[in-house]
């Protein structure tokens, strides 16, 4: 275990955890497009406060339908801009009516006989709408191309789900590179089919996208499963269905984006391969099922952590127990886990590789040396290695 221990020790030297403005990991994360809001939650003409990586913003959708992300406060008396009015693609402050266009430029100051609006400008950030999500580029300077995922663009029902989990985002990146936890943490769930793997056969490899984790199932005809992790915070999988009407595996992509250092949002997109009348029926039934579901499962996880209930007693309260199981295991590690005192073994090879890559990239970022340009090649696809369920 000497090699693993050394790799783990090196990972400890780098701070992956803190992503506030000015932090190394925060500046690195801001050099990628990040999803910041679910498109369906942002109607035209509405503004909301937004917090991403311990930094505040205003997100609004202009009356033209275009989403915008600008700074959090009006520069006059510093009130919160999200309580103001959206006018065309501008936002007007609720307090004394200063108006800002989508580039952040102040364009009206109703109380000033001699306007100095041209000298007043708040920050603004490029946005894109894709796969049911609003993406923002918070890094400053010219934004790179927004990466595309053709496997999620195919015909079918696209479900965009977001939820906040009360722990550091990196805990879920570790979790994404830890396939063996399925055998224990996800017992009795729809992904149980992924439990039958031999932990000695977990083979992670660095790819152009991030990490490909190869897993051979131990069950007869179990096949080879490929889990893809995309730098810096993406997971791409093929998952078993949630509903008997689904006729094949669903495609799944997820971004884990820090709200602050002790909370993150998971932006989960599922593509279900059904079309036509079957798709309409599926949408209706899903909407009914989700209508009664708790928006946050954190309270349920807290009941388990405090010993007031067991996970088995609560599983009927949620439409998909997988999320609650991960809520429990991830928050049980603490909001910021004590990585200094972990004891990694052979089955943790995915986590070790993840931290090694992150450490290398952060070091390059800190010293201004060229960074790896991550991109998912079309031939690289997540696969379940099984025929249709
Ligand atoms: S605080 Fe915004 S206009 Fe006065
Ligand atoms: Fe999990």
Sequence spans of domains, the chain: 34-136, 150-367
What is the average pLDDT across 62-90?
Answer: 98
Q: Is the CB of 80 under 6 A from ligand 1?
A: no
Nearest residue to 39 (alpha-carbon basis) of 269, 318, 296: 269
Q: Which of 67, 44, 38, 70 is nearest to 57 (CA)?
A: 70
Domain 150-367 belongs in CATH node 3.90.380: yes
The pLDDT value recorded for residue 387 is 60
Q: How far is the CA of 43 from the centre of ligand 1 (A)?
A: 24
Give the model's pLDDT for residue 317.
Answer: 92
pLDDT digits (tens, 9 = 90+) for 24-43: 999 999 999 999 999 999 99
Residue 35 C-alpha to ligand 1 middle, in angstroms? Answer: 29
Kindly state if the Cβ of 100 falls inside 6 Å of ligand 1: no
34-136: CATH topology is Rieske Iron-sulfur Protein (2.102.10)
**CA count, 13 A, side-chain hemisphere, 222:** 16
Cα of 117 from ligand 2 centre, angstroms? 51
Task: Quote the pLDDT of residue 8.
Answer: 52
Residue 295 has pLDDT above 50, yes or no: yes
Identify which of 74, 75, 100 has the alpha carbon closest to the alpha carbon of residue 89: 100
pLDDT digits 0-9 by tens, 316-350: 999 889 999 999 999 999 999 999 899 999 999 99
Summarised one tens digit per residue, pLDDT across range 13-27 is 679 999 999 999 999
Give the ligand at the shortest distance from the Cα of 165.
2
Q: Beta-strand (E) ranges in 182-262? A: 203-206, 210-216, 224-230, 234-239, 250-260
Instruction: Tell me what percent of the residues of the chain surpass a pLDDT of 70.
Output: 95
Mean pLDDT of all residues in 219-229:
82
Radius of gyration of the chain (CA): 22
pTM of the model: 0.94
Closest atom of ligand 1 relative to the 74 alpha carbon: 2
pLDDT average, residue stretch 246-261 = 91
Can you tell me which atom of ligand 1 is nearest the CA of 109? 3
pLDDT per position as a tens digit, 342-384: 999 999 999 999 999 999 999 999 999 999 999 998 888 888 7
Q: Which of 132, 130, 119 is nearest to 38 (CA)?
A: 132
User: pLDDT for 157-201, tens place per residue?
Assistant: 999 999 999 999 999 999 999 999 998 999 988 887 777 777 788
Least confident of 48-57, 94-103, 176-185, 325-334: 176-185
How confident is the model at residue 385, as a pLDDT? Answer: 73
């Amino acid at each position: 275990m000497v090699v693993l221990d050394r790799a783990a020790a090196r990972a400890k030297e780098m701070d992956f955890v803190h992503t506030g403005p000015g932090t190394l990991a925060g500046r690195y994360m801001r050099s990628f497009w990040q999803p910041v809001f679910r498109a369906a939650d942002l109607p035209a003409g509405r503004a909301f406060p937004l917090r991403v990586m311990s930094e505040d913003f205003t997100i609004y959708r202009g009356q033209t339908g275009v989403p915008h992300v600008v700074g959090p406060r009006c520069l006059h008396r510093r009130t919160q801009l999200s309580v103001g009015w959206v006018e065309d693609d501008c936002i007007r402050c609720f307090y004394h009516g200063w108006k800002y266009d989508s580039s952040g430029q102040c364009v009206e100051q109703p109380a000033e006989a001699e306007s100095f609006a041209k000298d007043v400008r708040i920050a603004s950030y490029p946005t894109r709408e894709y796969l049911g999500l609003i993406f923002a580029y918070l890094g400053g300077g010219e934004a790179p191309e927004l990466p595309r995922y053709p496997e999620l663009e195919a015909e079918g029902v696209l479900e965009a789900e977001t939820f906040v989990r009360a722990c550091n985002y990196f805990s879920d990146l570790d979790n994404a590179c830890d396939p063996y936890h399925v055998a224990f943490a996800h017992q009795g769930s729809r992904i149980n089919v992924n439990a039958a793997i031999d932990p000695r056969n977990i083979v992670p490899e660095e790819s152009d996208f991030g990490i490909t984790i190869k897993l051979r199932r131990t069950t007869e005809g179990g096949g080879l499963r490929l889990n893809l992790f995309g730098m810096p915070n993406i997971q791409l999988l093929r998952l078993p269905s949630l509903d008997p009407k689904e006729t094949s595996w669903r495609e799944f992509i997820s971004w884990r984006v820090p709200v602050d250092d002790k909370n993150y949002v998971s932006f989960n997109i599922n593509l279900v391969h059904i079309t036509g009348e079957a798709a309409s029926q599926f949408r209706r039934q899903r909407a009914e099922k989700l209508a009664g579901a708790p928006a946050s499962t954190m309270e349920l996880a807290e009941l388990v952590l405090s010993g007031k209930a067991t996970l088995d007693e609560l599983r009927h309260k949620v439409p998909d127990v997988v999320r609650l199981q991960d809520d429990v295991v991830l928050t049980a590690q603490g909001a910021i886990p004590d990585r200094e005192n972990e004891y990694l073994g052979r089955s943790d090879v995915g986590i070790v590789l993840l931290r090694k890559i992150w450490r290398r990239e952060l070091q390059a970022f800190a010293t201004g040396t060229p960074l790896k340009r991550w991109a998912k090649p079309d031939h690289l696809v997540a696969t379940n290695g099984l025929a249709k369920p």
